[in-house]
Amino acid sequence: MSIPRSDVHSPEPATAEEGAAAPIAVEVRDVHKWYGAHRVLDGVDLTVRAGEVTVVIGPSGSGKSTLLRVINHLEQPQLGHVSLDGELVGVRWQRGRLRELSEHQILAQRRRIGFVFQDFNLFPHLTVLDNVAAAPVATGLLRKPEAQRLAHTLLGRVGLGEKADAYPRQLSGGQQQRVAIARALALRPGVILFDEPTSALDPELVGEVLAVIKDLAAEGTTLIVVTHEIAFAREVADRVVFMDGGRILEHGTPGEVLDHPQHPRTRAFLSRVL
């Protein structure tokens, strides 16, 4: 159902790319999100360029996961907006204000934004193959035979080609998360969001999931990854973003943020996790 946003007074989205070589893939502009008196996001600005790997770190409750959900419009910001490839996500300008799109239009946009959740969210009654093939069929992107061929290819890509006929309950947590990554890839998204993809895994299974994400990064896939894996951020990220209290307090290269943090909250956080 369309939900009016007549109370929103955000500025018109910027279109300039500030001379950078890579185009802007995701732009978050002055986003605010609150529940009652609790501000979860408090004026967040973030720009992610095509092919860039952005890793978001910070303490629990800092707004990291909510930021991802706002980017995918699973959560609606009270103020501000998100753009994907220059197109507003979930809203449109109407008479100088942002208004909510229809659910059908929002779902069409979400096909361009892959989302990998920390708890897998696989369909337990479907085989691994059908879990991966379901979305392209349901959205009309592919017919079932084509979707199943694509699913076979993607399962091979994440190292699970031999598990096509298995059910989620027959897989380890790491294998289930790799299926979830294949499922996200099945819609051929322009950007993939990862919400703490290893937090639900036993420590010995973390590496196999991070290896798949590293491969995606090496292929130039645009990724935004919320994680507590600092070593992964150091190795893979083009940019590290530190959040606390619903705000981005610091961002830069892994060397800048992780090795030479400037903000005292960043330094305090890293002193506890490194």
Task: Supply 252's token pair.
Answer: 């830069």
Q: Which domains are seen in the chain, by residue range?
A: 23-112+222-273 (3.40.50.300)
String of b and e for 78-102 (b: at least 16 CB within 10 Å)? ebbbbbbeeebbbbeeeeeebebbe
Contact residues for 26 (Cβ-Cβ < 8 A; gap 6+): 46, 47, 48, 71, 82, 83, 84, 191, 222, 224
Using DSSP bridges, classify how beta strands 222-226 and 53-57 pair: parallel, antiparallel or unpaired: parallel
Spatial contact of 233 and 227, defined as CB atoms under 8 Å apart: yes
Is residue 62 predicted with pLDDT exceeding 90?
yes
Q: What is the pLDDT of residue 86?
A: 95
Spatial contact of 5 and 100, defined as CB atoms under 8 Å apart: yes
What average pLDDT score do residues 64-88 get? 96
Q: What is the pLDDT of residue 8?
A: 37
3-state secondary structure of 141: coil
What average pLDDT score do residues 115-119 get? 94
3-state secondary structure of 132: helix
| pLDDT tens, position by position, 145-198 | 999 999 999 999 999 999 999 999 999 999 999 999 999 999 999 999 999 999
Q: What is the pLDDT of residue 19?
A: 46
| pLDDT tens, position by position, 213-223 | 999 999 999 99
Q: What is the pLDDT of residue 7?
A: 37
Spatial contact of 44 and 66, defined as CB atoms under 8 Å apart: no
| pLDDT tens, position by position, 139-148 | 999 999 999 9
Using DSSP bridges, classify how beta strands 87-88 and 53-57 pair: parallel, antiparallel or unpaired: unpaired
Is residue 64 predicted with pLDDT exceeding 60?
yes
Contact residues for 143 (Cβ-Cβ < 8 A; gap 6+): 137
pLDDT band at 21 (very low <50, low <70, confident <90, very high): low
- CA nearest 26: which of 44, 57, 49? 49
